[in-house]
Amino acid sequence: RGCDIHVAVDCNFNQCHQTSAGDCPAFYDPCYILSKDEVDAVGHHIEAAQ
């Protein structure tokens, strides 16, 4: 039995590069904060679908 959801909490959104390559466009600063109510609602949705 597999999982219903996968959450990656350790990401590399701004990767290092060689300084000789020059500057690249800045990547966005991801900030995803879910309330307990949102997480609970998704949990109930998953349980209902099983």
User: Which tokens sit at 8?
Assistant: 């990656």
The tens digit of pLDDT for each residue in 1-44 reads: 667 776 766 655 555 656 676 666 666 666 777 889 999 999 99
pTM of the predicted protein model:
0.40
Cα angle vertex 42, ends 31, 29, to 5°? 10
Torsion of CA 47, 32, 35, 48, to 10 degrees: -10
Residue 11 has a pLDDT of 56
Q: What is the pLDDT of residue 33?
A: 79
What is the DSSP track for 16-37? ---GGG---PPPP-------HH
Answer yes or no: are the C-beta atoms of 24 and 17 closer than 8 Å. yes
- 15, 27 contact by CB (below 8 A): no
